[in-house]
Amino acid sequence: MYISEHEVCAALSYEALIPDIRQALIDYSAGKVVQPARSILRAGNAEGHANGWLAVMPVIAGDVMAVKTVTFYPANAELGIPTHMAVIELLRRATGEPLAVMDGRLITEMRTGAVSAVALDALAPPTIHSLGILGSGVQARSHLKALRRVRPLLTDVRIYSRTPANAAALAAETGSRAVTIEEAAAADVVLVATTSPTPVLEGRWLKPDAVVIAVGAIGPHLRELDDEVMLSSCVIAESRAAAESESGDVRLSGARVHAEIGQVLSGEANAPAGGRIVFKSVGMAIEDLTAARLVWQARKAASSPVPSR
């Protein structure tokens, strides 16, 4: 069974995905998921920032297995095509039978937003109302939808982009405001979703009790957040091992990961009641498996014959 992006879009919703992602993060931190580190190869298609990469992400959880192959080509944005593209294969754990192969671009987009929504729900008080977004691309859009599902009071949305026209377009599309980077960073919650290789968010702009959700800058030498952000905050990660090996924000600042979000969700660890919090997301294969299983189940149900009466 091949499932196209159009079919993924019809089958996958944040309403179903967010609670399943929550449980998957708990299971990961409880040791119930077999997930080796992703393998990354540089494409060698260009020099510097334009050099793309290919990653392979295998995982086993519950009754299924999955492997995602994903590419990231930053320069694709200039060509009008997605910077991230992916394919996910889902297999039956008991027999190794392939169950489905599906397009993974939208799954990657939506599962990232769902993870951030789960983290926000666990780490931020229900009274927050302002959200600053640094970035105006795919992840900015998907996160706004996902975060509003768990915090519908996020009515003051401020968008900054290094390309002002992009910020203005997204603001008009979503009923938000295009603002300076300082005003976006002064919100209750700050989402950093950029492809910048150097820090764009400075700690001096943040509120003392800000929650920062950082989903870009994936790589041991890339950063979105400066040292003040990292060292003045309690750092929560999806995976301690992944953040410490794949996040330049963590590695280069010397910050310590306080806990995994799955540990916070299960009650094994506590997030601080006051002060700044950084949630650093690098993406995990268990999140892709969780979304792919939902898509496969929905497609299987839709294709099952209706019993005759």
Q: What pLDDT, on a 0 to 100 scale, did the predictor assign at position 129?
A: 95
Pair 45, 71: CB distance under 8 Å? no
Q: Which structure tokens are listed for 99? A: 């169950």
Place of tokens 């540990």: 263
**Surface-to-core class of residue 308, CB atoms within 10 Å of its CB (0-12 exposed, 13-18 middle, 19+ buried):** exposed
Provide the angle, in degrees to the nearest 10, between the axes of the packed helices 14-29 and 105-123.
70
Q: What pLDDT, on a 0 to 100 scale, did the predictor assign at position 257?
A: 97
Alpha helices in the chain (DSSP H): 5-11, 14-29, 105-123, 138-150, 164-174, 181-185, 227-231, 240-246, 248-253, 261-266, 285-303
Q: What is the pLDDT of residues 222-264, one digit of tens each?
A: 899 999 999 999 999 999 999 999 999 999 999 999 999 999 9
Q: Which amino acid is at 60?
A: I
All domains of the chain in start order, with CATH? 2-107+286-303 (3.30.1780.10), 124-283 (3.40.50.720)
Q: What pLDDT, on a 0 to 100 scale, did the predictor assign at position 307?
A: 56
| Parts of the chain with a pLDDT under 50 | none
Query: Nearest 5°: phi and psi at 117?
Result: -65, -40
Q: What is the pLDDT of residues 74-94, one digit of tens each?
A: 889 888 899 899 999 999 999
Q: What pLDDT, on a 0 to 100 scale, did the predictor assign at position 274?
A: 85
Q: What pLDDT, on a 0 to 100 scale, did the predictor assign at position 98?
A: 97
Of 211, 282, 252, 298, give the one whose Cα is nearest residue 28.
282
d(C-alpha 25, C-alpha 261), whole Å = 7
| Entry pTM | 0.94
Pair 90, 59: CB distance under 8 Å? no
Residues sharing a CB contact under 8 Å with residue 295, sequence separation 6 or more, in sequence order:
3, 7, 8, 11, 12, 100, 102, 107
Q: Which structure tokens are listed for 252? A: 């280069």
Q: What pLDDT, on a 0 to 100 scale, did the predictor assign at position 308?
A: 53
Helix (H, G, I), strand (E, B) or coil at 260: strand
